[in-house]
Each structure stands twice: as C-alpha cells, then as structure tokens.
Structure 1
C-alpha cells in the first residue's frame, strides 16, 4: 500500500493529469509492443504499475483508467475494434438476419441476483421459470451485469471467478455480449486491459488439438500476436467462458495434470481446468456461464461468486415489448394480451420467448393478420412455426413458392433431430449429431433456409460448424410435432424403438392410448424433462392446432374426434398422483386441451365463501391439487400459508406443498402431522427457488426421526429458513444432535428456534450448545421452556453467552428446574463483556433469594444488555426483591420490562412504579 499525505496526493494527481504525454514518451510510443526500446520493458511496466497502483489506492479510478487507456498497446485497440464490430449487433434467435438490431438500442437490463452454490436441482427449466416468476424480487439483491466482479459489502476478499447460472434462453449470452461491448467501447471496466471471450461451443472443436494457452489465444485472437508471454501475467486480463452446458470436454479437475507454464503445450481440457483452478494466470479474472443443470461441473472451491440470471422482471417485460415494437399502440396491445394469459406471461421471463411472442403477436394483432389470438404455449409455437415457414430469410425469398413436400421433409428432419437429442439433453449439435438423425450436412442450408429463425448454423467458426435451435422450448415443440406425426409407425419399421426410451409410447392402436402412454412416460421422469414436451404433444392433438399446421399434416394424420377420454385420464392421474409437482404440470396439460373444469370447481368454493367454505367442503384429492394450482398461479403474493384454514392433515399438506414453496411463512401447527411431513418439507427446504423463511410445526407428532429428515433440508445450501418452531413435537436428545450440526454450518440462516415442551434434558442441550458455540451460528432467539432441564443446562449456556461470536439475544428457560445454583452459573455468562442477551425468561424455575443476588450484580454492570426479565412464579420473597431492587436502582441498569406480579407489587412499595411491566 502506497500512502501519501493530502498535499502529495494533490501534486501527484496534478502531475498525472498534466503530464500524460510525458508518461507516453517515457514508456515509448509503441508501449508495450514487443520490439526492444531504449527503456527496459520491465522498467516500463514497473513505472505504469506503480503509478496505477497509487491512483487506485487514492480512489482516482477514472484517472487511472484514462492513463491506462492512453498507454494501452496497439493490439488492445485492434481487439476492442474487432469485439465492437462483432458484439454490437443483437441477433434475436437468428444468425445474420436482416432485422438484427443494434444491441445498445434494444437491450433491456436483465434481472441478475446473487445465487446459491451447492447441489443443483435437476428439475425442468420451465419449472424454474415458473418458480422464479412467483418470487418476490424485493427479497433478493440485484446485481448489475457490469458489476459482477465487484465484491458485495460482506465479502472481504477480491473476486477472481464468477459462475453465472440461468436457464436456456434467459439472457446469459446477451449479458456477456453487453458486458464485452461496454468494455470495448470504453464505457466500463477499463482497468481490465484484455477480455478474451472463449465460448465452449467453439472450444469443443479444438478438443483433439495440443497447444499452449498462448497458442490458443493467438488462434482465436490473431490481433494479439505481438503480446509476449510475460504480458499475460503483468496485465489485468479476463476470460469469458460462455455456455458451460454446451461443453463436450471432460473437464477432469481431479485427474488432469497441474500446469503453470502458459507456453507448455497440452490439451484444451487441461488448459481450461488449470485456468479455472488458478494454476495458470492466477491473477486473471474468469467469468463462466451455464445452465443450472451443468453448473456443478465446476468445483465449488474454484468459484468466488455465484450469480443467477432471472431474465425479465415484470416491468422489464413491458420495457422489452416497447423497445421491440416501434408502434406504441401495438406494443401495448401485445403486452395486454400477454398479461391475460398466465402461462404466456410466466414464460416471458425468458427473453427468447419474448422475442417469439413479439414475432407472432406483432403480426396477428396488426391489421395485416387475422385469426384466433394464441392463448396457450402450443398455439403460440404453432403460429411461430407457420410464420417462419411463410417468412423465409431474405436469402431464400427469391423463390416465393415453397414446395410443401420439401417443407414437410425439412420440418420432419429437424423434428427427428430435436426428438433424438431431447433425451440426451443436448441444445447444441455438431455435424455428427445431424448425421445420426439422417440430415445430410451438405444440404443443411435447406433446413436452415426453410426455418432460419428456428434452426441455425453458425458460420463464424473457423474450425467447424455448430447447429442449434433458438431455444430448448422450440426443440421440445418440434420433438412433440415429430412424435405426433409418427405415432402410427409400426414397431418393425421404427429403428428408434431400440435406441430411445421416448419411443416406448409409440405404435399404440388408438390416439387415446398413444397420449395416455405419453402421459405415463412423462410422469415417470423424475427430473420432469418431458413435462413441456407433453404439454405440446397434447396441445397438438387439438383439431384447431392441426388446422393451423395445414400443409404439414396428411389427412390420415389429423385427429377429428374428442379429447374427452384423454382429459378424463389426466384427471384420474391427478387424483392418483402423490407428486404435487407432477399434478401442477398435469393442470397445465389440461389448459393446453382447453379444459378448466377442475379449476372452475375450486374457484366456486373460493368465491362462494373463501377459506371457511373450503374448511367445510369435502374436497377430493384432485380438487385439493386444483386449489394448489390456483394459488400457485395467482398473481397475488402469498405471505402466509396456514394449513388449518384448509384441512389439517398430511394428505392435504402433500397436495398443497407447491403453495408452501411460494409462501414466506408456513403455519402447520396442530395439524395432525408426522414423520412423513418432515420428508416432504425436507424437499421444500432443499429447493433453490423456495421462498420459505418461517416454519411452524408445533404440536405435531414429528418425533426425532422426523426432525432428522427435516435437518437434511436445513443443511442445504439453498435453505433460507430464519424461524423454526418445533414446540410440543415429541422430540428429545437425538433432535438436539441433528440441530447442532445445522447450527454449525456456514450457510445456516436459522435465527429463531423454539424447542419448548419437549423432553430434551440436560444432555440434549449440551449437544445443542456445541452448535451454539460455533462461529457459524447465527441464532438470536432460543426457546427451551418446559424441556426437563436443570443446573447442567445453565453451565452449558453460560459458556455460550461468554463467547465473542455468540449472537443470542433472547433465551427462554421457563418451567425448568434450574434452581438458584443454575442461575448463579448462568449469571457468570450474563456478566461477560461478550454477552448480547436482551431478553431472559426464567418463569417457574424453582428460584429463590440467592438468584436475586446474582441478577442484582448483572443489572449493576455497565455492559449488561438485559432489557426484559421474566421471573414469574418463583419464591423470591421480600428479601430477594430487596436485593433485586438494588440492581434496578443502578444507573447502569437498562431493564425496561420486568415480569412477576409479586415483584411488581413490592417494587411499587419501594417507589419504583415507573418500571415498565
């Protein structure tokens, strides 16, 4: 650290401002080009580094950036120019489309938050979007894209590696693009001299090559040929690895050899793992983006900051459409229609879906188009497909007549690719993937030409070609269309029968059997990766959507009879199904089939008499699930879920579990719950997108085995629970052991714990105290009333209060046999300079005169923080009160509330009636 007094600082700043040209001359005009000058290169860099270091320590950031930019090497300017040209255009789902816009004109700031690390939940990404749409953004801390490397207030060390998660199409790549563009245009982060964007989809094409890190960078960025190896170590540089989920390298962090020499040749996989681990260029900044399911490929110890792109918040959705559609009246019409459909509005958290929606509705709501405005996902994607067939890219518009058979062949080929890759979870394809699906790579332009905005070919890669659908949901729609068109293929003609589990429901005798088998197959998927596929498949069975598809369907492929059997089958599955999340998706499936009967039944109960009417009603399991669907998809924020208002039972709770996930407070007290409940709640606490902050399970027969299950959720890095109430739950010593391990975790967020009216005994509190002593423990309120405790408990709690890191502010030990000797031990902790306790309850603790003597000495201390004291139902006697009053008279005493009828009466006689009570 360079320290200058105020006068020297001002002189130094003035020198730098006035003598920038002197610096340039000293460092030579082509600094830091690789040709040797009169001044030694190390001396040049030393002068610049010392100057910049002093300026930054004096918080002269703008001046430091100005100096650095003026002295930047010529190759940096070339790189910035190249990146500006490349990233200033935003291709919304289209590669090289004529309507591409300037990024700075259409860019809408995305909602990015600090994200949790730990285990990655493998649920379907649309579920994550639906969950994110229900979260209160005010609960989270937003982070601006350009600030992701700035440490948060509580972070004490600099950030080297940032991992940014987000579902497909949520805007990770656009965020990267905007970050690079702002840097290359000199707007932000000018302390970084070089940014090297290295998308994983391009790195995949080099997986067989052997080269050094310097070779790798020079092959991607020829502009940097003049940089010498030592420059990579002395400059502040940043690597951006976009699309970890697209990576086809092994990323073998455990077995790859360690590498520190940036000129040593090895595989790209070894280069990447050593860069991420910090063996290569430990001072370089790294930004990695990924879909959530792939994020765990990076060891947690290699990541300093995890962020999450949440897409568009509600105000940002409207902002996007106002920018995307120049006609303001039309933009308002589009947004109003989207607001009228909850499923469409939720999906608009995804920027790519906003673009798809704008593409469809801009035409349909203008005078040029007519027809039914899409209200379901299937309708929206069907219109999108038809529009792309009609409106081919300008490259192919010379031929206005599209061959229907060629169009059908192309769509079926893309559908087969989408279908086969869906099971593998691939969003990015290479030439070998296309060949596996029967697509001739030499004629791929036919496919991308028919549907430029659906299937795209990347032409910028100099090592090979990469293909993709614009979004996973587009891939799922085409996969569903392919499955629908091939549902009658005989088994003996289907080669996919042996290669894909998805084909197990093919070759059914009737349409109903086919769709029923698809429903069963989706329900069997634990991750829910077929949920959206199923919604599309069922939507395509509607005659109205088949009419829209027109030329793609032959007469034998169309279905004209009713879907009533399928609707009834779905309702039966809702009735039978014990998984609340699966039931929610089945209701979305009913929406795609235009059936809202179950939801309407429940809404009648809600409108007829509200919760009280529901308490009296005998709802079926399917109706309880319908209620969950209604509450989950309501636009109203749910602050509290109280099970007793509905039906106090485990069966009802299981059906309404999705509602618990979106509530801040869940009141489940006295609801006849048991061990099974804890197993289900564990999954709620373990969810990354759970909103639950307060959980009351009091007066239920949970037992130690139930709390053991619950503790697994409490230990999750995703758990955000602040308040847990387990009073009167038939728990004992084993529960204290499990909760001790929870309190001892760094990520534990528990601040209040109520274990009253349980047989914990002294041995249980001794175990619990070990967690309370942990430096990680954040507990502020602990209630242990009526827990069969004695003197030994006071000894353990004394050592807790005496700790510097103890955060305990409220302690309830009422109705325990503590005796005077116990409180004497406790008082030693209360006298500690470290003690922060403000509220102490000792009602009915078999206390007497001696206890008052100890508490008098506590109240008389300058450092005592006690503000409330409950001594009700103890045999204090006059002599005890007299001792206590001496402490109350002390000028150091901060007590505001004293609870005890006997004590208050005597204190009034002593003239201390001003005391609050």
Structure 2
C-alpha cells in the first residue's frame, strides 16, 4: 500500500472511531443531572432552541433572571436566527469564512446540549460531513490540567485516544472543529496580551499559552473554534478574536409547549401543566430556560400525582420548596423506606440540606458555581461527604469527573444554588437569630429573647437594602425567595427544618410596606420590578391592583401618579404581552414626564407612538439611551409634531448609530428641524451600523441645501433607506436635480418617495420621474394629485346633535335654534353642535365640503366623548380628533389636543378639500378654487384605528357635502 493511501486509511479509521466514541458519549443525556436516574436519548428529548445571530462579545453582568426577562420580551420581534448545525455558516454578510464562533447564554439555557447535539449529528452522519474531526472540550476538564504542560497534539491525544492510535500529528491537512464549552467556568488566566506566541502544534507549553494562541489564530489557523459562555464572561476573549457572536435565548413559547408535551405522556396532564405555567408570570418567564422547564415538570408531575387537595405551586419559592421536598422524598423511598406521600424531613436529609445550603451561600458570595476540593473545604465539606450528597440528592447537587477522574461539583442550576442560599439565610436566622446579611451583627452574641421570637422584618429589610446596593442585581432572586419563605404556607412545608416557627403575619406586612416605600424612592426599572416580584411572593398586590383599576376605568390619564404608582404601571405593562407590541403614550399621559417614567416599556415595545405629546430634546436623549440598550426591541418610532429641533435630532442619532439599535422606521414630521438635521442624518446614512429603512421628514424647513446633505447619504453603499417622505419641506427645482443624482447611484436603495407640497416646477418633476421609472420605484408622490381618491360620505344619523337640521337628502347640515325630533341614542352629541359620518376610513380618501359661517372640519376616532365637558367632545380640543376651523371672520386654524395653529390666508370660494392618507398618518386640508388646490395644513399623526369624517358648526353656520359629480376640475 502506498504511503498516501496508508495515511488516508488511518485518518478515515480515526474519524470513524472518533464518531463512534462521540456517539457513545452524547447519544444519551441525564436530563437536569449527571449520571443519576434513567438516561434519555438526546435525539428524543432535544427541542430546537431559539438562537439569534448578530450579538456582540461584550460582557453583561446583570443577574441572569434579568437577562432572561429581557430576552423573553425580545423574542416577540423578528431577529436573525440560526440552527446549531449551521453555526459556522451563520452569516451570509461575512466576506470571509467564519473561524471562531462565540455562543452566549445564561446558565441552564442549553449551551452544552447544543454543542453535544452538534457533535452527535456529525457523528451520526446527519450534518457537517465536510469536517474530518470534532474535538469537544469543557473548561471544567481543562481547569484540573492548568498546571500541566501540553502541545496541541498532546492535548488532543490525552482527551481523544483515537487520534493517538492513528498517530495523527499534523492537523493542517484536516478540517477540524474544536469546541470549548463553559468559558465562564475557566480558571486559567487567558492572558492574550502577555502570553508568548506559539505556532508549532508539537511544542509543549502551559495550557494557558496553548489556548490563547489557538483562539488568536496563531496556532493552527485553519481550525474552527466554537466557544460557549455565560454573558458575564464573554469579555475574557478579545472581540477581534471572534468572527461571529450568537445568543441562545432558550425556548420560545411554542418550544416550551413542545417540551412539556414531549415530557408528559398524558397529554391532558401536559395541557394542565402548560396552562398553569402560563398563569404565573414568574414561572412562565423562567421556563425560557430548558433546565427550569425540567425542574417545573419534575415538581408538577409529582404534585399532580400526590396532590391530596393541595394547590399547584404558583411562585418560584413554592416551586423550589416542592423541588427540595420531591428530592427528599426520593431519598426516603430509596434509603429509608418512607411513605410516598410523606412530606416530613428526616434527620439525615435535614443535615445534608444544612450543609448544601451553607455551601451554596458561601460559594455564591465568592461567585463560584463550580466547586473543587479546595472550595468544598472552605465551606467545611470534605470530598467524601460531597460525593455522598451528590449520590443522594442526585437532582440538586452533582459530581463530575475530569480526564484524570479529578472530582468537581456543582448545583444543577444557578437558581437552585440561589434558592438553597436563601434557605440557609432564612433557617440560620429562624433557628439561631443570626442575620448572615448583616455584616455588623456579631455572630455569636445573640440574645435569648430574640432567639425565642425572631422578627423576620429585620432580616428582610437588611436583604432588601443589600439587594438594592448591587448594581447588577446579583441578589435579586435570593431576595425574592427569602421573603417568600416567610409565608405561613411555606413555613408549614419547611416544618422540620426549622427548630421553631416564626409568627410572620405582622412582619410580612411590615416588609411589604418597607418594599413599597423603597419603590417610592425612584429606583431603576430593574430594581423596582424585582421588588414587585417580592410583593407577589408576599401575596401583596395592592399597588398593582390600584393601577389596574385606573386602567379599567379609563381614568389613568387624568390622575397625578406617584413614583410608586408609575413603577406599578411599568410592572403591569411589562407583564402584558399585548401591551408590548405598540406603545401609545397618549393612552397614559401625553407628556414628557410620563414618557420618562415609562421608558422601560418603550424599550420593550416594537413600536412607540409619541406624536404630538409636547416632547422636547430631553426626550430624544432618553430615546437615544433606549436605542443603545442591549435589550431594546424598538423597530418603529413616531415623534412627529413635537418641538425637537436640531439638537434633538443630534441626540437621537447617537442612539441610532449604536451597534445594538435595530430601529427601521422613524417619523419626525413637523419637528422644527432644519438643514442642520440633514447634516446629522447624512452621517447616519453613511454609517454601516445605521439600519433605518423608512424616514418621514414632512413639514420641516430643510430647503435645498438640506436635501443636498441627505442625497449624499443616500449615495452611500451603507445606506439602507428604502422610503423617504419630504412633503412641504421648502424644496425647489434644484432639489429634483440633486435627488435625481442620488437615485442614479447604484448604491441607492430608495423605493418610495414623497415630495408633495414643494415648489418643484414641471422640469424638476419630469427629471425626477425619469429617474424614478429607471429605478423601478414602487411609489412616488411629487404633486398633490389626491382627487383620484374621492369618496362619497354618509352621515351617521345617530350622532347628529338635536340643534342641527339636515336637508338635501342628508347632504346639508345647518345649525338651528329649535331642537329636532331625533330619537335618543348613546352616540348622539349632547353638548356640542356636531355630527359624524358612518364611513370608518383606513386607506386613502378625499372629500370636499362647502361651508358658511364658522365650522369645524374634522376626522375623529369613534370613541370621542358625546357629552360632558366641551374639551372632551369638541372636535380639535382632545387627542381623539384632528380639525380645521374655518371662519368668515377669523380665517383658518388647525386644532388638535386643544392646541391652535393659525393659518394665514382667507377663502373666497368657501370650499375645502380633505385628503386622508391613513397608512402614512397624514391628514391634509386644501382651499379649493376653480382649478387649483391650495395647501392649507397637514397633520402628521399615527392612526391606530379607523377615523371618521366629522363636522361641527357654530351658531347659524352650514356645511354641505360635495358629490363626485360636483367637484371642480383637477389641476
């Protein structure tokens, strides 16, 4: 046999042996635990995870419950997703092949299972067969080798004997993938700046030097690397060493349901579990984490089987107490022959729980989630005892072995460690009076009186203060569980672990009041939200119920809310799926104060409707910070009809240029912007990080010089803008030439253009039309040719005020002194001489009316008040109507939310045309003469429901509806 053939034969055999080994290693998993219970086939239990592409390698040190809450909201928006088998083919936008992938995700989200599934699919010849070798490592295993020296070849041979037997020492000839799972558990220094350079795969060195050179690409640059980590450790690797970052967001709502239906053979029981989890926001959010789904399933399955009239656990505290009870019961059945329904704690169980609680608390204080022998010794536990605990409480505490059988231990999930830490704090205080969270309290000298009657208020207040001092929320979950443990029902479940039962009814009430006072101090949204979760654990929902009552009655926007009430509103809205799609500030209060209070809700929403809310540049600074946030979901923002000015646009642009910003649509019509804002937007359009596709700049004084700046941006290869609206921006024929030049650029992606109500001139329009046709633009509006949308109106007879008289087949309305005999109807206007049409409009419509005297020409929402104070029901004086007032004496004026805008000029013809573009949010009024339409005013708004043509009349006035046959010839 030739030498080359022999080599091929050897590596083929090595590949097959490696595949066989990986199949044995990964085909079965012990769900939630290690080497305990019955193994499950990975392919049978595996549920596809929600993985997104396009994150960054920045660290996120927030508590992972906060991160999973943010991720659960972000799953509602469309993100670029990737499947595990395509992890190295993730981005079509990359010019070069992907060498290194970093995958981030919170503890228990499924990162390890993801890498195991990737390796198993390769081993079973399901995917990625262009790869010759996959070598999966874990940092847990590598940690125990940190004092050894290896070459890359030696390291591979140590872990994968198949490669040693095949004598493979040259890796350059093969397609190789190295998987390094659990960067957050790494105890190597990983000094990328000071470590010496290594390029020889056969040269021995420290493990730290070997790994840093492999990751940097100095060593074996042809290899591909997949590194997984929790977000807090992502910055251990320099960003230039990572080609693409993906995020594991866990289960979507659909995937949660799929998991539980796989987990429970009885589908009726599965449906019951799914419904129960949906009812509890805390459980529903946590179930984005696959391990928590398993914990929930374990508990609920057991409680359903032996419930004996008991309710299913609804809070995190209840769930974890039951989880501990289930494990204790398994121990009793297996080792102590206890009854299956016995919920008491045996002396052995009690001792083990005390030891594990101390370990959990001590190591949580140090930030350790993986424990080696030295860590155990620091908490007073020896290796033998730890092995016994992992063998008894198999689903809580687990033992693993590295390459040399060095033992390491961990809890199955961070939240389990936090629960046991909280339990340890609680039991220590109840049993001995020692407050472990109070650094100033002497641990030994506790008065006998205090020990006999422990007051939980002191412990809880210390815990609240301690949690609020943490900038990243590391004690959030501990605090929630700690206050929940004091509920009488939970005290009953803990009987046997406590030497005495505290009377907690009074102290719990005092704790709840203390928490409410803290909420009133104006905390950050994340901190106040966690305190509301604490109130839920205490069964105190008074603040939330008060705000919900305001929302139900529709009185919220008329009330002056306290800081605590604003926080309660934020908590309610963030807990609601339906309220997070579109955020409409006017539903709460059309003010800057309200917006600043509700920023966390804005951040979690897909669309923010903020038009005509008296906002200023201060708002732009706040919105900019929201857009820069990692967890921002915003895709559309409407800031029209606010006096933002150029300084506001400048502030807004800094957020839009951030790597995290996903904003696609911005409306800033009538915001008092000038050419200076165009300079700002030009810089944005020329930036690769700017993702805006639709921009509305209507009714701003941009002028030709401003459009020149914008056009330069439109030519940029980075510009993604597809639609721009420049109606009434004081543009001339010169702008047409400028814009035509931009449209002719191969980089320009513009598909929709509106330049109506500008003095473009015929030659300018023709020049643009030619370029638009060449560009195959889907839509362009250069002149206000709106009469083609003419529609006939029909009056709503049930809305007509009794002092309005109808004639001419109900097309003429006149104000009269005598009341007309109209029947009673709830839709009839009582206090204002007004009426509405039956036509609910949602598209593009145009109509004309003739008027005499003084009248209000309006479009209104169906829900406008019909009686009461005149501001609530009169057209133009509220946020439910947009109105042009026409008067023989005073001329024209535009009205909305009781704000008047005077319009210069008068009308001899007394005929007005009204054009509604509902999808674009534009309502325009024209003075109609014999052959022309003269633009009077345009409202820019966001219409979220059908609107109705409406009319109001002052004393002696009249209005007549014009038919299509009577309309004057178009221009």
Measured against the shorter chain, the TM-score band is 0.7 to 0.9
Residues 1:515 and 2:460 are matched in the alignment: yes
Q: 1:794 to 1:628 in 2, by over 3 A?
A: same
Please list the CA deviations of residues 731-783 of structure 1 after superposition, one character each: whole Å capped at 9, or x if unmatched. 45654444334323323210122334445566655555554332111012234
Report the counterpart of residue 235 of structure 2 in structure 1.
Answer: 296
Q: 1:537 to 1:755 in 2, by over 3 A?
A: same
1:589 to 534, 538, 550: 534
Residues 1:447 and 2:389 are matched in the alignment: yes
1:688-837 aligned at under 5 Å gives the runs 688-732=630-674, 735-758=677-700, 767-785=709-727, 797=739, 799-812=741-754, 823=764, 827=767, 831=771
Report the counterpart of residue 27 of structure 1 in structure 2.
Answer: none
Aligned-partner Cα distance in 2 for 1:114–1:344 = 27
Report the counterpart of residue 428 of structure 1 in structure 2.
Answer: 370
Q: 1:840 to 1:585 in 2, by over 3 A?
A: same
Aligned-partner Cα distance in 2 for 1:561–1:491 = 18
Higher strand proportion, which one?
A: 2
| Matched residue SS, 2:395 | coil
Report the counterpart of residue 946 of structure 2 in structure 1.
Answer: none
Q: 1:273 to 1:106 in 2, by over 3 A?
A: same
Report the counterpart of residue 275 of structure 2 in structure 1.
Answer: 336
Q: 1:357 to 1:681 in 2, by over 3 A?
A: same
State the number of aligned residues: 786
Report the counterpart of residue 102 of structure 1 in structure 2.
Answer: 41
Report the counterpart of residue 250 of structure 1 in structure 2.
Answer: 189
Aligned-partner Cα distance in 2 for 1:552–1:748 = 58
809-818 or 644-653, larger mean C-alpha shift: 809-818
Aligned-partner Cα distance in 2 for 1:415–1:85 = 35
1:338 is displaced (CA, Å) by 1.8
Report the counterpart of residue 188 of structure 1 in structure 2.
Answer: 127
1:251 is displaced (CA, Å) by 2.6
Residues 1:545 and 2:490 are matched in the alignment: yes
1:72-471 aligned at under 5 Å gives the runs 73-117=12-56, 119-136=58-75, 139-152=78-91, 157-228=96-167, 231-367=170-306, 371-392=310-331, 407-462=349-404, 464-471=406-413
Confirm or deny: 8 A CA contact 1:404 1:552 kept in the other structure. Answer: no
1:642-653 aligned at under 5 Å gives the runs 642-653=584-595
Confirm or deny: 8 A CA contact 2:10 2:166 kept in the other structure. Answer: no
Confirm or deny: 8 A CA contact 1:360 1:383 kept in the other structure. Answer: yes
1:381 is displaced (CA, Å) by 0.7
Aligned-partner Cα distance in 2 for 1:514–1:675 = 44
Report the counterpart of residue 531 of structure 1 in structure 2.
Answer: 476
Please list the CA deviations of residues 146-183 of structure 1 after superposition, one character each: whole Å capped at 9, or x if unmatched. 23233555555433322222211111111212222222
680-689 or 195-204, larger mean C-alpha shift: 680-689
1:456 is displaced (CA, Å) by 1.5
1:696 is displaced (CA, Å) by 1.0
Aligned-partner Cα distance in 2 for 1:419–1:265 = 40
| Matched residue SS, 2:129 | coil
Confirm or deny: 8 A CA contact 1:333 1:365 kept in the other structure. Answer: no
Residues 1:683 and 2:625 are matched in the alignment: yes
Confirm or deny: 8 A CA contact 1:201 1:246 kept in the other structure. Answer: yes
169-178 or 439-448, larger mean C-alpha shift: 439-448
Confirm or deny: 8 A CA contact 2:345 2:496 kept in the other structure. Answer: no
Aligned-partner Cα distance in 1 for 2:133–2:300 = 42
| Matched residue SS, 1:555 | coil
1:262 is displaced (CA, Å) by 0.9
1:333 is displaced (CA, Å) by 2.9
| Matched residue SS, 1:198 | strand
Report the counterpart of residue 7 of structure 1 in structure 2.
Answer: none
Higher helix proportion, which one?
A: 1
| Matched residue SS, 2:147 | coil
Q: 1:341 to 1:330 in 2, by over 3 A?
A: same
Confirm or deny: 8 A CA contact 2:454 2:502 kept in the other structure. Answer: no
| Matched residue SS, 1:248 | coil
1:478 to 417, 420, 423: 420
Aligned-partner Cα distance in 1 for 2:575–2:468 = 21
1:640 is displaced (CA, Å) by 1.5
Confirm or deny: 8 A CA contact 1:802 1:829 kept in the other structure. Answer: no
Aligned-partner Cα distance in 2 for 1:471–1:781 = 48
Q: Can you give the 5+ residue segments of structure 1 that lack an aligned partner in the other structure?
A: 1-37, 49-69, 501-505, 845-867, 869-898, 907-912
What TM-score, normalized by structure 1, do the two folds share? 0.77
Please list the CA deviations of residues 614-651 of structure 1 after superposition, one character each: whole Å capped at 9, or x if unmatched. 33344444333323322222243643211012101223
1:427 is displaced (CA, Å) by 2.3
Confirm or deny: 8 A CA contact 2:398 2:412 kept in the other structure. Answer: yes
1:795 is displaced (CA, Å) by 6.8
Report the counterpart of residue 35 of structure 1 in structure 2.
Answer: none
Report the counterpart of residue 5 of structure 1 in structure 2.
Answer: none
Residues 1:40 and 2:12 are matched in the alignment: no
Q: 1:368 to 1:518 in 2, by over 3 A?
A: closer
Please list the CA deviations of residues 20-39 of structure 1 after superposition, one character each: whole Å capped at 9, or x if unmatched. xxxxxxxxxxxxxxxxxx41
1:576 is displaced (CA, Å) by 2.7
1:582 is displaced (CA, Å) by 2.4
Report the counterpart of residue 20 of structure 1 in structure 2.
Answer: none
1:83 is displaced (CA, Å) by 1.7
783-792 or 700-709, larger mean C-alpha shift: 783-792
| Matched residue SS, 1:294 | helix
Q: 1:389 to 1:641 in 2, by over 3 A?
A: same
Please list the CA deviations of residues 538-560 of structure 1 after superposition, one character each: whole Å capped at 9, or x if unmatched. 11122221221222222176745
Q: Can you give the 5+ residue segments of structure 2 that lack an aligned partner in the other structure?
A: 443-449, 785-843, 845-925, 934-966
Please list the CA deviations of residues 228-265 of structure 1 after superposition, one character each: whole Å capped at 9, or x if unmatched. 45542212221111112212223333333333221122
1:593 is displaced (CA, Å) by 0.7
1:11-90 aligned at under 5 Å gives the runs 38-41=1-4, 73-90=12-29
656-665 or 536-545, larger mean C-alpha shift: 656-665
What TM-score, normalized by structure 2, do the two folds share? 0.73
Q: 1:393 to 1:775 in 2, by over 3 A?
A: farther
1:312 is displaced (CA, Å) by 1.8
